[in-house]
Structures are given as structure tokens and as C-alpha cells.
Amino acid sequence: MTAVWTAIAVMTVITVAIKGVGPVVLGGRDLPRWAERLVVLLPTALLTALVVTQAFADGARLVLDARSAGLAAAVIALALRQNMLVTLIAAAGTTALLRAVA
């Protein structure tokens, strides 16, 4: 078994353990108020981190390329209050056009 598969197996076990500990520890009790406020913010923070790393990183450094332009097009479409389909088409079209030109 390679190091990569060992890491995947270990992370799988840790993930299952973490997901199983929550219900056991809380046992039907409500979360403290501070924890509820934190849990509400987590999806936004995680999505932001994912978008930034996918749009501006190439594995070793930050870059501005077609992905960044596609993200900018999506932001503009959302600022103009376009629906999600128009936003996705604008982002994908901008990225594809710039990749085809370059």
C-alpha cells in the first residue's frame, strides 16, 4: 500500500470517528450559543477557501489566469442580479474563450 493510500485510509477513519463522536457527545442536547454561531459561518468560510484556491492557485503559487477571469465574470453577473444559469454560462464562457485565445 502506497503512502497516498495509507493517508486516504487514515483520513477516512478519522472522518468517520469525528462524525460519530458528535451525536455521542451531545446526546440530543443543544449546542452552546457560541458554537451555533460558529457552525453557521463554517460553510461560507470553507466555500470561500475552496473558490480562492481553485481560482488563484496552481499548486505552488498564486496566479491570475483564465480561471480568475471566469470568477470575475461570475461576480459581475451576480452583481447585476443575473440568475445562476446566466452566471455559470458567463463564467464558463469567459474561461473557455480566454483559454482558446491563449
Helix (H, G, I), strand (E, B) or coil at 81: coil
Q: Which of 98, 61, 93 is nearest to 74 (CA)?
A: 93
Please compute the mean of the pLDDT values over residues 31-58 and round it to a whole number.
Answer: 89
pTM: 0.58
Residues in the chain: 102
pLDDT recorded at residue 23 = 80
Instruction: Decide if 15 is inside a domain.
Output: yes
Instruction: Decide if 39 is inside a domain.
Output: no
pLDDT band at 1 (very low <50, low <70, confident <90, very high): low
Q: What's the domain range around 20?
A: 1-30
- If one compares 24 and 87, the residue with the highest pLDDT of the two is 87
Please compute the mean of the pLDDT values over residues 67-71 and round it to a whole number.
Answer: 93
Instruction: Decide if 9 is inside a domain.
Output: yes
Instruction: Decide if 59 is inside a domain.
Output: no
Instruction: Decide if 46 is inside a domain.
Output: no
Number of compact structural domains in the chain: 1
pLDDT of residue 93 exceeding 70: yes
pLDDT recorded at residue 29 = 82
